[in-house]
């Protein structure tokens, strides 16, 4: 396996492209937006610079990694020689199904089609292709260059051979792959999202404030980041989307999103990426400032 195509140049997509290129693979990074691709390359370059500054890479290794990445705005051109395609588009079912129909038609017959989805059914995605045995989940964690876990999700029809190939490939990227079966939320988000949702309910019901809730989880449970700060980091819209997948998939009211979360997303307060969620975020500042909406008056 030599040629990797990555669909989507956002936070996850550029991180995935970075890791493959750093480990010697030829990468095609694909996005319909040329400006987004340019920004992605700048982000990858900055992240590689950080690794050089920490003596994790040499300057030449950085140059070589960047040289392995080519960008495309036309999907068919970007996947024409792919051995593996990793889709990292927005967490939206209809978008992913449409993409996989296109990928199935445009990719070489031998290519494995993987999704970085954090909750959407691999089995459902695979069903729109003519190669369901070659469709698999490859769920990287954010930030991809730093986090070592890869959830490898087997769809109902995913073959043993394809699963082994992706498990082995993940190890070559110096990641730790964990094989899981295809049920809503897989493992990571089936456990994480109800915890985040419960933290939001705890705030919503007035049990404690933002700082207090996060402090309890950081100091009491040794979490590096409190659940409300983590929700902001992930994106409140992404959290809401995953909870809805869990709620619909299991039909269990325990997965119902907290009304506060729904209201915040509908109002456009989606966390760090919009500048405000449970905390306020100012460019260039690392101070953790609680949103005025949650400060007692």
**pLDDT tens across 186-237, in order?**
999 999 999 999 999 999 999 999 999 999 999 999 999 999 999 999 999 9
Locate 289 and state its tokens. Answer: 């400032």
pLDDT at position 297 is 66
Domain boundaries along the sequence of the chain: 3-181, 189-292
Query: 127-148 b/e with 16+ CB inside 10 Å = b?
Result: ebbebbebbbbbbbbeebbeee
**3-181, superfamily in CATH?**
NAD(P)-binding Rossmann-like Domain (3.40.50.720)
**Residues 47-76 pLDDT 10s:** 999 999 999 999 999 999 999 999 999 999
* Locus of tokens 């024409």: 80
Give the fold, CATH level 3, of 189-292: 1.10.1040
CA-CA distance, 18 to 111, in Å (whole number)?
20
pLDDT confidence band for 287 (50 / 70 / 90): confident
First-to-final CA distance of the chain: 59
Positions annotated as catalytic residues are: 118, 139, 151, 189
* Higher per-residue confidence, 120 vs 285: 120
Q: What is the pTM of this model?
A: 0.90
Other Cβ atoms closer than 10 A to 252: 11
């Amino acid at each position: 396996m030599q040629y990797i195509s990555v669909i989507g140049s956002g936070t996850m997509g550029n991180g995935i492209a970075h890791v493959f290129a750093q480990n010697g693979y030829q990468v095609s990074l694909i996005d319909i937006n040329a400006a987004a691709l340019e920004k992605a390359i700048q982000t990858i370059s900055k992240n590689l610079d950080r690794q050089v500054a920490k003596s994790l890479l040499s300057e030449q290794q950085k140059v070589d990694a960047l040289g392995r990445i080519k960008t495309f705005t036309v999907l068919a051109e970007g996947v024409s020689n792919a051995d593996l395609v990793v889709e990292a588009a927005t967490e939206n079912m209809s978008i992913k199904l449409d993409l996989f129909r296109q990928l199935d038609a445009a990719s070489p017959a031998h290519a494995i089609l993987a999704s970085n989805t954090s909750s959407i059914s691999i089995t459902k995605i695979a069903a729109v292709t003519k190669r369901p045995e070659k469709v698999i989940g490859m769920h990287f964690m954010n930030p991809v260059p730093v986090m070592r876990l890869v959830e490898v999700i087997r769809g109902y029809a995913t073959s043993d051979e394809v699963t082994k190939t992706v498990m082995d490939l993940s190890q070559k990227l110096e990641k730790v792959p964990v094989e899981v079966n295809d049920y809503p939320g897989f493992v990571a988000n089936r456990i994480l999202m109800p915890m985040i949702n419960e933290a939001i309910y705890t705030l919503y019901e007035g049990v404690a404030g933002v700082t207090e809730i996060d402090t309890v989880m950081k100091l009491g449970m040794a979490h590096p980041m409190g659940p409300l700060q983590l929700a902001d980091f992930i994106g409140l819209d992404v959290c809401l989307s995953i909870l809805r997948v869990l709620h619909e998939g299991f039909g269990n009211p325990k997965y119902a999103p907290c009304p506060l979360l729904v209201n915040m997303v509908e109002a456009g307060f989606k966390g760090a990426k919009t500048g405000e969620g449970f905390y306020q975020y100012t460019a260039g500042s690392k101070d953790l400032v609680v949103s005025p909406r949650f400060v007692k008056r």
